[in-house]
Chain A
């Protein structure tokens, strides 16, 4: 409370002190208007000056007197007026007088005694007037000077391409003052413009000349107070008339031309004159000696242009010199409310940006969605065209996604739900385990898997579907998604089956052909037991015919008959199986037994060809998995090749060694070594080609078939030359099971 009051008091005291000080500094300015108060030019100057002074100090008092010298040119009026001012201001003369209008200055000079010693600041005095008046030193002010060069430079900037210049001046006193100024200025420019001076012309002729001006020229109107015929004109009106008809832009040095159709020029404004005069007044009021202040040219001259005129001649605002005042331009919202607009715009802009960002994001998302959709459609279409169904299975949700084509692939009706169960229901019961196993296996690893299953179509037909699957790991490494394709491979399967059938056919034909070659020897193999049987039987008969038959011997004979019959039966069985057509039968095969039984078929052939055979068999039982007939065929072929290869080998050197080895690599090796001519260089590398043969009577299918058979047993067939002559044919098969045992 107390504190507030003390502050209040202090402020009050301060105001009193300041008020007192300002009263002491109060300044009085008397404005002397040459004309009456309605004369616009001086009014504008006075108002501008008053504003400037008020800005400078609130303690400036302004008085104004209107001399009205234009309407009252008689000496008595002047004297009366001067007396009036002396009477009115004599006792308390103003601190400063500002004269407005050129006639006011001579009046002040003439009646200097009405306000002696008061400094005078004049405005709007032409240099010529100033020179003629020779005012005393305490009178200073603003001299108006036209800068024609800068008016021209404005034109040049707005019309940089212009090369022709037309300069207009009338025949009046002022007009003629302009003419040398203009010539001099253009001369100083050098030969830049092709200049036409339209001076001293009758007005009609001037109009005619001007209308022929090319539209890319520059026209400068100086002043036309009178034409060559002595007709008087108002320059501002002339400016309006000539601008209206000129094809090219018109420029001028006068403020008054602007607004009357002229583009513009470097002109002084009445406001600027007022401000300039006020500035000088302020300097004097602050203690400057007016005698030391020389008159100034109004520094505040401006480029001024009429926006409407610029538009008419299609001149660009951007080409204007800096600080050009553009008049008659309808101010834009931007110009008028720049700040507000900026703020609003920035808010709007932010909102727009935000909205835009949202829109862009949305659009982008839509686009991505569209792209995804397109991509998916394309993929689905392409997959369907390729007869492929796509599927994906989410282990978490137990949801299955499939393409529509899967429906056709699996023969599901169009209204059936595409669930995992629906698909599994179509699988052939025998293949259900395969399908489930494949899915389980894929779930565990990331390795892609493929399995072929049969499905039963509604018609009852079978269709082979290859299911390729792969799991996708997500984050924690646990596979969550399973995905893959379904392909109809029925055609492939039937082609495979056909091929397999044809191969079996060929294999069979080859076996028949081999057995045909061996027929004599095989007949012998059957004939031997037959011989034994017959002899035993006849022996038994003879024994029986004796008086005291040796029954024990007869029994033995009969037993031998049974044995020999079995022996013959075995040969025939082997023969039949080799001659039989049939599918492959995978079984466990004792490789050593295979070698022995094969050799037994070849026994008499080997004897017949004087070839000795040595078996070097692994002591343990070697088991491989395969088809015994096919493998016997391979061995048969290899041994027969060895036999053929030794046709020209000396008899005592003809030998074949057949070895079996259970290599530690998990393979069973069977080697057939001969001492024949070996692989001839020209045959090397071609031995496994179908229809390639080195034999006179060969088909060239033996080794090719053998190779195929061994390959289908996951094995490998090789044929190389042996050290010391001959060849070694070897095939290796995966060990089915290796059990240690006696020979």
Chain B
């Protein structure tokens, strides 16, 4: 398991596959070429940072289908870009709507390819960072008691301690204790940070 950014290259044409691999490698990328989409899906590891460069038109599974499968499988947004011999508009629109980084037509200019790959790399890094944040937040949330989680929800909703106590049928002081413990467990000092965290969690849902 490496953390090196890897370009997953899928094209059924061996000549093209080899040439694109060579180009990306010359630029210094780690490339994993696949001539079969099925083999690619089997060997794909979402944990590895990287992006997928997919040929649109391939026997068996085309690029758009692979994109869908990738998303459905991991719940993780692996940056995907397409290269195609027939740059027809409906296909490119569908691809872009599904979140593709780019839709490149063959023959691919190295600049365009590198630019797209570097964008994909940034997107992947960001996505990965966010993903790890979310993971730590989730881990912190899992440390809260049910009462603390209730208090978290009410605080994020903007309720005052007194109101929360009333809602939960207890005294304000008890709420204050739960609230300080919850803040401590989550490693957050201000209510503003707490709200931002809640927003992130909402986004990821």
Contact = CB atoms under 8 A, between A and B. Distances in A.
Interface of A: 520, 523-524, 527-536, 538-543, 546, 553, 556-557, 560, 563-564, 567, 604, 606-608, 612
Contacts of A563: 15
Interface stretch (B106-114, B153-161, B186-194): B106-114
B58 A564 contact: no
Contacts of B20: 531-532, 535
A540 B12 CA distance: 22
B198 interface: no
B57 interface: yes
A533, A535, A540, A543: which has the most chain B beta carbons within 10 Å? Answer: A535
A607 B22 contact: no
Nearest to A549: B26
Contacts of B22: 535-536, 539, 553, 556-557, 560
Contacts of B26: 538-540, 542-543, 546, 553
A539 B23 contact: yes
B19 A536 contact: yes
Interface string B47-81: 00000000001110000000000000000000000
Given A531-B106, A539-B25, A520 B86 contact: yes
Contacts of A533: 19, 107
B13 interface: yes
Interface of B: 12-13, 15-16, 18-20, 22-23, 25-27, 57-59, 83, 85-86, 106-110
Contacts of B19: 531-536, 539, 557, 560, 564
Contacts of A536: 18-19, 22-23
Contact of B107 (A531, A541, A560, A612): A531
19 contacts: A523-B86, A528-B13, A528-B106, A531-B16, A531-B83, A532-B13, A534-B19, A534-B107, A534-B108, A535-B16, A536-B18, A536-B19, A536-B22, A542-B110, A546-B26, A557-B19, A604-B57, A607-B59, A608-B86
B25, B26, B57, B109: which has the most chain A beta carbons within 10 Å? Answer: B26
A111 B13 CA distance: 176
A530 B12 CA distance: 15
Given A524-B57, A528-B15, 6 more contacts: A529-B15, A531-B13, A535-B23, A538-B26, A539-B23, A539-B25
A604 B107 contact: no
4 nearest CB pairs, A to B: A535-B19, A542-B26, A531-B106, A532-B19
A543 B110 CA distance: 13
Interface of A is mostly: helix
A643 B107 CA distance: 28
Nearest to B22: A539
B15 A527 contact: no
Nearest to B58: A607
Contacts of A567: 15
Contacts of A553: 22, 26
Contacts of A546: 26
A19 to B, nearest CB: 156
Contacts of A607: 12, 57-59
A605 B115 CA distance: 31
Contacts of A556: 22
B85 A528 contact: yes
A567 B15 CA distance: 10
Contacts of A531: 13, 16, 19-20, 83, 85, 106-108
B58 to A, nearest CB: 7
B20, B23, B27, B58: which has the most chain A beta carbons within 10 Å? Answer: B23
Nearest to B14: A532
A536 B110 CA distance: 10
A517 B23 CA distance: 34
A608 B58 CA distance: 8
Contact of B23 (A520, A530, A542, A606): A542
A606 B86 CA distance: 14
B12, B107, B109: which has the most chain A beta carbons within 10 Å? Answer: B107
B88 to A, nearest CB: 9
A541 B108 CA distance: 15
Contacts of B109: 534, 538
B58, B85, B86, B110: which has the most chain A beta carbons within 10 Å? Answer: B85
A528 B18 CA distance: 12
Contact of A530 (B25, B86, B107): B107
Nearest to A553: B22
Given A539-B25, A542-B23, A542-B27, A532 B85 contact: no
A529 B106 CA distance: 10
A658 B85 CA distance: 26
Nearest to B20: A535
A564 B16 CA distance: 9
A214 to B, nearest CB: 131
A538 B27 CA distance: 10
Contacts of A541: 110
A532 B18 contact: yes
B91 to A, nearest CB: 11
A567 B26 CA distance: 24
A520, A527, A538: which has the most chain B beta carbons within 10 Å? Answer: A538
